[in-house]
Amino acid sequence: MSMTTTRKPAPSSAIQIADITRELAARCADLCYTDLPEDVRLRVRQCLLDWIGVTLAGACEPLVHMLAEEAREQGGYAQATVVGHAMTTSSRQAALINGSASHALDYDDVNMACTGHPSVVLIPALLALAESRGASGRDFMTAFAAGYETMCQLGLVCGDAQYSNGFHTTATLGTLGAAAACARLLQLDADDTATALGIASTMAAGLKSMFGTMCKPLHAGRASADGLQAAQLAARGFTSRADAIECPQGLIATHGGTASLGAACRRPSWPHAASPAVPMRLNVRKASSPRTVVPRRWELRWPRRTAAGICATTCSSSTPPVMAHMPPLRPRATCACNTHCGLMTCAA
């Protein structure tokens, strides 16, 4: 009498989280500028405008001066500009300083899909890399969109578990988002992008217990700098696991989250950025280096209407409220939906 064995189906949890790293990497590597709808391109521009406002406002904070002094002492090649300071430094240091400056006042844009601040980790890394490599504006926008969606899709995968476990998701998920964005700007293929996500996964760190200290904005700067380094190392052939997000003792297992592959593939909503009706005028003077510009005066102008009216052009009152993690360092201008609008609030 012959006996036949039937393979047991894999546990549902194993099916749910299979190949998340590779799927996200493939989506990131395949994204082209022509794939971006016009509304997404507009949001990318708004995110950049918003980021400029909050970074200029935060550039004078003491923690930024400390980081800039540290970078000057360490030296290195002058590859990228430090916003608001008469200096250029290495790409990694520029991402660290600019990322910390843009999160220093906690007025930056938010997406609740990842319970974090995507632009402050993505833009500093991309600007540093784009400046050092001479990338085009279209390449920058495509890379930003790839990193933004990767970070938010990871937020959907991890759910609220990671945040509840005490991790600052701007730091943890932001490291992977910045790695994905820089991998796209470097035009890495899906395999190398998965490697970059793996390198970023083992770098992902940041504790909510640090809220209220200088370490909170440092989280954003570190995530930006580490994501940049992860992509650059992957481009050089550095190795990592290609399933670092979902593997045993990987990102989900250690940091939290058990969501499905479908959640990782769902397109998240875009953020509440500055209104396109809010023009910004920046007067600059040339510094000693021809590649460096230092803000001398910056002004924000918008039509005569209330803060709620300005915000209403880009967000709706149905949006979940943004959680304020730090005591306000400046008076906050808020709208009916209680969200931050960076350019508006940093000018308040």
Confidence at 18, pLDDT banded by 50, 70, 90: low
Confidence at 326, pLDDT banded by 50, 70, 90: very low
CA quadruple 281, 108, 45, 171: dihedral positive or negative? positive
- Of 6-10, 89-93, 96-100, 217-221, where does mean pLDDT reach its minimum? 6-10
On the question of pLDDT at 148 being above 60, the answer is yes
- Of 66-80, 88-102, 312-326, where does mean pLDDT reach its minimum? 312-326
pLDDT of residue 236: 98
Place of tokens 């397109």: 267
- Of 82-86, 118-122, 206-210, 276-280, where does mean pLDDT reach its minimum? 276-280
Read off the pLDDT of residues 160-169 as tens digits, 9 standing for 90 and up.
788 889 999 9
pLDDT of residue 86: 87
Q: Write down the CATH number for the domain with range 14-265.
A: 1.10.4100.10
On the question of pLDDT at 261 being above 50, the answer is yes
Q: What is the mean pLDDT of the chain?
A: 77
Tell me the C-alpha distance between 171 and 189, whole Å.
25
Kindly state the greatest CA–CA separation across the chain: 90
**What is the bridge-based pairing of β-strands 280-286 and 293-300?**
antiparallel
pLDDT of residue 113: 87
pLDDT of residue 159: 66
What stretch of H or E contains 285? Answer: strand 280-286
On the question of pLDDT at 33 being above 60, the answer is yes
What pTM value is reported for the model? 0.75
Q: Which residues pair with 288 in a beta bridge?
A: none
On the question of pLDDT at 227 being above 50, the answer is yes
Confidence at 24, pLDDT banded by 50, 70, 90: very high
On the question of pLDDT at 272 being above 70, the answer is no
pLDDT of residue 50: 94
Read off the pLDDT of residues 277-301 as tens digits, 9 standing for 90 and up.
223 333 322 333 333 333 333 333 3
On the question of pLDDT at 16 being above 90, the answer is no
How buried is 327 (Cβ within 10 angstroms: 0-12 exposed, 13-18 middle, 19+ buried)?
exposed
Average pLDDT over residues 74-101: 94
SS3 194: helix
SS3 265: helix
Tell me the C-alpha distance between 95 and 151, whole Å.
17
On the question of pLDDT at 185 being above 80, the answer is yes
On the question of pLDDT at 149 being above 90, the answer is yes
pLDDT of residue 257: 77
pLDDT of residue 76: 83
Angle between helices 119-133 and 215-235 (to 10 degrees): 40
Tell me the C-alpha distance between 196 and 198, whole Å.
5
Confidence at 264, pLDDT banded by 50, 70, 90: low
Residue spans per domain, the chain: 14-265
On the question of pLDDT at 340 being above 50, the answer is no
247 versus 323: the higher-pLDDT residue is 247
Average pLDDT over residues 8-30: 70
Tell me the C-alpha distance between 9 and 328, whole Å.
52
